[in-house]
Amino acid sequence: MSSFDHYLNRILIAAAAEAHAEGSATTEAHHLLLAIAQDGSPLLAAAGLDHAAVRAALDREFALSLAAAGVRVDGGLPRATPLLAGSPQLGATAKAALERGFAAVQRKRDCRPGHVLLGVVLTPVGTVPRALELAGVDRAGLAEDVRREIAGGGDDR
């Protein structure tokens, strides 16, 4: 496996663990974002997004989205025992993010870790952009930084 394959595999495993911890049956784009932040991304860190900050932004997005339907959850959600056997399937938003990230790549060997982050950051609608906006992140600027990092040969780790 190439070093990129190792990176992607590590991120997918970490993202599945995030999904699992949430009791989600699928790994989604926001789980990829959590995994990338947890793995350590200088670009995310520079934008003020460590794992705790991403988690906080996602929690806020969840609460605000529920509030749009007039629902407020007090005192947290009830906990259920998560499924231990097997990994969550890759969900629609995670697939779309990965496809988006790799769309710019001509050959598979040109894939870099930055492409995974790029695909997530470029997610146009839904949980990820809403959470990033709540965290005060300039998505277009961040995407540009990621592109520059990829072009510069850095691997954003």
Partner 1 sequence: MSVEISASGDVADRLAAVGALRRLADRLEDAAVEEAMRSGWGWPQVAEALGVTRQAVYKKHAKRLIAAGVALRRRSG
What residues make contact with partner 1 under the rule CB under 8 A?
A: 23-25, 61-62, 65-66, 68-74, 77-85, 125-127, 130
State in angstroms the smallest separation of the CB of 83 from partner 1: 4
- 73 Cβ contact partners less than 8 Å away, ≥ 6 residues apart: 63, 66
Contact 81, 20 (CB under 8 A): no
Tokens 């697939």 — which residue? Answer: 95
Q: Which is nearer to partner 1, 1 or 71 (CB)?
A: 71
For 26, phi then psi, to 5°, come to: -130, 150
Q: Which helix (H) or strand (E) holds 67?
A: helix 51-68
Q: CB of 126: closest distance to partner 1 in angstroms?
A: 7
Q: Which is nearer to partner 1, 1 or 84 (CB)?
A: 84
Residues for the chain: how many in total? Answer: 157
A 10 A CB-CB count for 149 gives: 20
The label of the residue with tokens 């629902």 reads 71
State the nearest-atom distance from the C-beta of 22 to partner 1, in Å.
8
Contact status, residue 99 vs residue 119, Cβ threshold 8 Å: yes
Q: In the complex, what is the shortest distance from the CB of residue 54 to partner 1, in angstroms, rounded to a whole number?
A: 17
Nearer to partner 1, 78 or 153 (CB): 78
Closest approach, Cβ 94 to partner 1, in A, equals: 14
Nearer to partner 1 by Cβ, of 81 and 106: the residue is: 81
Q: Kindly state the tokens that stand for 36.
A: 């990338």
- Cβ proximity to partner 1: between 29 and 137 the closer is 29
